[in-house]
Amino acid sequence: MNYFSKIIGTGSAFPERIMTNHDFENFVETSDEWIRTRTGIQTRRIADHSKGEFTSTLALKAARNAIEMANIPADQIELIIIGTVTPDSLMPTTANLIQAALGATKAFSFDLQSACSGFLYGLSIADQYIRTGMVKTALVIGAETLSTLINWQDRGTCVLFGDGAGAALLTRTTETNHSILGTKLYSDGSKGDILKIPHGGSKYPHYLPEYQHKLHSIHMQGSEVFKLAVRNMIDASLAVLSDHGLTPEDVDYFFFHQANMRILDMCMKTLKVPKEKTWINLDKYGNTSAATLPVCLDEAWRAKVIKPGDLILMATFGGGVTWASGLIRL
């Protein structure tokens, strides 16, 4: 018997607080006009610690929404993966916190660190476990509170990111016409310097004299990341399509990582994707890293813009550097 994975539920969650471009004008040299025209971002959500908004609580809300849509008991879930670079703590994992809170007692769970590619990496891993028959039902989450890793004095990065979480619930199917058709995952550590969080790990722990708090935050060579994100998301999209003998014209709907509107425009132009075939929420949420793709999927699904049988293509690019694509027949 050949097994495949089918998405049966999606969910998303955001902190309450909305931060506008104008808010940044109060503490860095920037403007609403620069941010809007250079990135397409207008607002982003920022977690409020005092209201109990952490990566785990956002992830839990998104997971509960996905489980409610799928209408299955949490104890049927056998695997929980969270893509995040902002876990609540290094131990226990945030995935374990979710496992306990959901009462998903049969699930094994782990956090996965591949920056903005975290959701597609997680989806691919869960898909492999389901295809081999080891797991029947899996929960994949992308959740971040990047606001905790922002250098609020660096105008080149602080305006770009936001907090949020998205989730997808997968289950085993034998029908290929409603399943994840394929995923492609890529890494290139030799370019890791262009988007990194240099301090705060075992090389520069907080107690060393060399440790600098301002290096325990996101550092990015924006234009290098920009060029690579465009090229690699396009290449990854074409690669997963070519694996299945398909072209961009065959795709009903596209989800690209939400980092910069100009990146999205270049991907759409090269792949000849009309704007009405792609979901854009970058203006509202900014770049929420691993959360962007599952949130887009959830929003488009709930808005009934995508429907069962549609061919969906996803592509992402993230720090470190990592990138990925996925092809799904809904």
- Cβ 230 to ligand UT7 shortest distance, Å: 8
Give the helix, strand, coil percentages of the chain, each rounded to 5: 40, 25, 35
Residues 6+ apart with CB under 8 A from 217: 149, 150, 151, 154, 157, 197
Phi/psi at 55 (5° precision): -60, -45
Residues 6+ apart with CB under 8 A from 304: none
- Cβ 179 to ligand UT7 shortest distance, Å: 28
Phi/psi at 133 (5° precision): 85, 5
CA 106 to chain centre: 25
Residue 254 sits in the site that holds ligand UT7 (CB under 6 A): no
Residues 6+ apart with CB under 8 A from 207: none
Cβ count within 10 A of residue 174: 10
- Cβ 265 to ligand UT7 shortest distance, Å: 12
Which residue has 């990496």 as its token pair?
A: 121
State the alpha helices, DSSP H only, in the chain: 21-24, 32-39, 55-70, 94-102, 118-131, 155-158, 222-243, 261-271, 282-285, 292-302
Residues between 23 and 52 that touch ligand UT7 (CB under 6 A): 30, 34-35, 38-39
- Range in contact with ligand UT7 (rule: CB under 6 A) among 88-96, 179-187, 217-225, 248-256: 217-225
Active site residue 267: no
Residues between 154 and 213 that touch ligand UT7 (CB under 6 A): 155-156, 159, 195
Of 113, 287, 288, 325, the residue at the interface with ligand UT7 (CB under 6 A) is: 287
Residues between 105 and 124 that touch ligand UT7 (CB under 6 A): 116
Nearest-CB residue for ligand UT7: 222
Q: Three-state SS for 241?
A: helix
Residue 225 sits in the site that holds ligand UT7 (CB under 6 A): yes
* 87 versus 318: smaller Cβ distance to ligand UT7: 318
Selecting among 21, 65, 96, 116, the annotated active-site residue is 116
* 139 versus 159: smaller Cβ distance to ligand UT7: 159
Closest CA to 317 of 243, 264, 247, 252: 264
- Cβ 66 to ligand UT7 shortest distance, Å: 23
Residue 259 sits in the site that holds ligand UT7 (CB under 6 A): yes
Active site residue 257: yes
Of 2, 50, 202, 223, the residue at the interface with ligand UT7 (CB under 6 A) is: 223
- Cβ 231 to ligand UT7 shortest distance, Å: 12
- Cβ 29 to ligand UT7 shortest distance, Å: 6
Residues 6+ apart with CB under 8 A from 21: 30, 31, 32, 35, 36, 41, 42, 43, 159
Selecting among 21, 199, 219, 257, the annotated active-site residue is 257
Active site residue 49: no
- Cβ 276 to ligand UT7 shortest distance, Å: 23
State the alpha helices, DSSP H only, in 103-206: 118-131, 155-158
* 156 versus 200: smaller Cβ distance to ligand UT7: 156
- Number of residues that make up the chain: 330
Of 293, 317, 324, 328, the residue at the interface with ligand UT7 (CB under 6 A) is: 317
Q: What is the DSSP secondary-structure string of 150-178?
A: --TT-HHHHTTB-EEEEEEEEEEES-GGG
Site residues, ligand UT7 (CB under 6 A): 30, 34-35, 38-39, 116, 155-156, 159, 195, 222-223, 225-226, 229, 259-260, 263, 287, 317-318
Question: Which are the catalytic amino acids?
Answer: 116, 257, 287
